[in-house]
Homo-oligomer: A and B are copies of this chain.
């Protein structure tokens, strides 16, 4: 039974599980817990007393595994939708004792094979005993080579002790994120390996918790002894825990309740309906009070805002950036972007202010301002400009320059429909080669990509600036790109799935969701328009040093998130840089530059990134590399994998 209804939320986090002990009456255990309100069980599959070496010694010739239940006692769909297999916790692949290691390896492989046979969706692997878990990783890695669908959830206690200022060696500090990190690096980021976090009574700093939101966390197991008691004697969670759980809900993490009843609440009864329609009155599930509290937290959350719901399908989904210079956009794309009213109202305000600066009130009726929209598309900037002229009472002559002949068709109809024929001249040309009949006072363009200059706005406006008056205004007047390092397991694995280098040397437009932003953004490249300097070049090189806050702990960087901010005119700006983003704008998602090899950054080690914008006569591309904490290969040399055509 889902925790509740939340508008727009279709994620797994609506389902709550319960961890149970070994029970050889699985049908009964399933009925008891489902009727108690839980959606699934985390249940041992094999008798925890079983040891392969003992079984062999006993000359058990039949060699039947002591399983909790044969595959026949539950239907296949019951097994797969309601049971997560819990692998025996005595298994310790990194024991000093070779016999335990041997037994562990055999048992682990047997249990996983059994779970596969039952078509379970997932198994919960016991937590590594410490940071040194290479043999465990090797064995799981062998298993993963043959696995196709079943997820393996590695259980990790959520512990990170804070390092004292003077504890430079940090030998006593424990950060269980490191256990997970070693494990997945040794196994090479397998997509079927995920994390189940054990939420304990004390919880690490918010900064260090943030790392997990870039990792494939599938479940959070809350121990009943982590709950506090409220005034009425009922279980509740600390503010910090509440925030954490809400975070999990927002990232499709399922909650699992584990442990004994620790609260002195009266166990009410409930009426239970059997398959044969008979009913029975029985006590409520002993852990029902914890489930109710979790459901309360879920139901208390605000509904997803409309824009979020609209963008839900795009979350962490990699898209290739547009090539608007080489390709012509489709009507659907124009349609979508034109709906972004926030964007065009910013443009309108910029033109408004520029017109006022350009023409004093007393000359409003005599001076006609020449405004050129370069890249007019189907006309939204023409409309915004005319609106601004109307608002300010300035006379305006508009040239709408557009290279896409298909968009020009629509533009024509629009102008006829609106009766703008006297004010607007349509020019069906590429702005870089058009010979304008007169010079413009104001040049308006919307050529910006998610990373600012990545759709070649600089090159286009360099071409267009020929027909701007020397004291003319470009809207936008400047734009700057920004970068920040992120943990993004999902994106990394999606890139890796292509199994080639080229996809790792490509930038992607993506609605970032399951990522950890590890450091504040930093500015990268700035372009200003117009620019009349002599040795003008659109090549750029920038070296950036990111400091990851020390209380984060170590973190893995899968790549860099890119954004832009543009100054349209004076104080009117537009952008997606998180700290200054224009609200309610949906035209741009972020851009993601991956790293071929994710890099681990320890506290106190700066992360040094080099970024280049390179230009040839036919294309523009970026190259990037990390040089510290240790050097990684330069990505996309000569634009071999990813470039934007001129």
List B contacts of A188 (CB < 8 A): 633-634
* A602 (CB) vs chain B CBs: closest residue: B630
With A and B bound together, what is the CA distance between A638 and B141 in angstroms?
A: 9
List B contacts of A135 (CB < 8 A): 541, 610, 612
For residue A295, CB closer than 8 A to chain B, the reply is no
With A and B bound together, what is the CA distance between A411 and B438 in angstroms?
A: 101
> In chain A, residues 170-204, which have Cβ atoms closer than 8 Å to a Cβ of chain B?
181-182, 185-188
For residue A111, CB closer than 8 A to chain B, the reply is no
> In chain A, residues 598-632, which have Cβ atoms closer than 8 Å to a Cβ of chain B?
600, 610, 612, 623, 625, 627, 630-632
For residue A142, CB closer than 8 A to chain B, the reply is yes
For residue A537, CB closer than 8 A to chain B, the reply is yes
- Would you call B610 and A541 a contact (CB within 8 A)? no
In the complex, which of the residues B101, B541, B630, B631 contacts A101, with contact meaning CB atoms closer than 8 Å?
A: B541
- Would you call B597 and A597 a contact (CB within 8 A)? yes
* A98 (CB) vs chain B CBs: closest residue: B541
> In chain A, residues 127-149, which have Cβ atoms closer than 8 Å to a Cβ of chain B?
132, 134-135, 137-138, 141-142, 145-146
Ranked nearest first, the 4 interchain pairs of A and B with the lowest CB-CB distance are: A185-B631, A188-B633, A134-B610, A182-B631
Q: Mark A113-134, 1 if CB is under 8 A from B, else 0.
A: 0000000000000000000101
For residue A261, CB closer than 8 A to chain B, the reply is no
For residue A640, CB closer than 8 A to chain B, the reply is yes
List B contacts of A328 (CB < 8 A): none
List B contacts of A99 (CB < 8 A): 535
For residue A637, CB closer than 8 A to chain B, the reply is yes
With A and B bound together, what is the CA distance between A181 and B186 in angstroms?
A: 24
Name 17 extra pairs, CB < 8 A, besides A102-B535, A138-B637: A53-B535, A101-B541, A132-B627, A134-B610, A134-B634, A135-B541, A135-B612, A138-B634, A141-B637, A146-B638, A181-B631, A185-B631, A186-B625, A186-B627, A186-B633, A187-B633, A188-B634
Known contacts A135-B610, A623-B138; decide if A634 and B186 are in contact (CB<8 Å): yes
With A and B bound together, what is the CA distance between A146 and B623 in angstroms?
A: 16
With A and B bound together, what is the CA distance between A135 and B188 in angstroms?
A: 30
Listed residue (A141, A597, A625, A637) with the most chain B CB atoms within 10 angstroms of its CB: A637
- Would you call A633 and B185 a contact (CB within 8 A)? yes
With A and B bound together, what is the CA distance between A633 and B188 in angstroms?
A: 5
Known contacts A543-B134, A627-B182; decide if A141 and B634 are in contact (CB<8 Å): yes
With A and B bound together, what is the CA distance between A137 and B624 in angstroms?
A: 12
With A and B bound together, what is the CA distance between A99 and B99 in angstroms?
A: 68
Known contacts A185-B630, A633-B187; decide if A142 and B597 are in contact (CB<8 Å): no
> In chain A, residues 535-551, which have Cβ atoms closer than 8 Å to a Cβ of chain B?
535, 537, 539, 541, 543
With A and B bound together, what is the CA distance between A543 and B633 in angstroms?
A: 30
A-B contact pairs, 16 of them (CB 8 A): A101-B541, A132-B627, A134-B610, A134-B625, A134-B634, A135-B612, A138-B610, A138-B623, A138-B625, A142-B637, A145-B637, A146-B638, A185-B630, A186-B631, A187-B633, A188-B634
* A554 (CB) vs chain B CBs: closest residue: B630
List B contacts of A535 (CB < 8 A): 53, 99, 102
List B contacts of A610 (CB < 8 A): 134-135, 138
* A540 (CB) vs chain B CBs: closest residue: B98
With A and B bound together, what is the CA distance between A478 and B187 in angstroms?
A: 34
- Would you call B137 and A185 a contact (CB within 8 A)? no
List B contacts of A101 (CB < 8 A): 541
Q: Mark A99-114, 1 if CB is under 8 A from B, else 0.
A: 1011000000000000
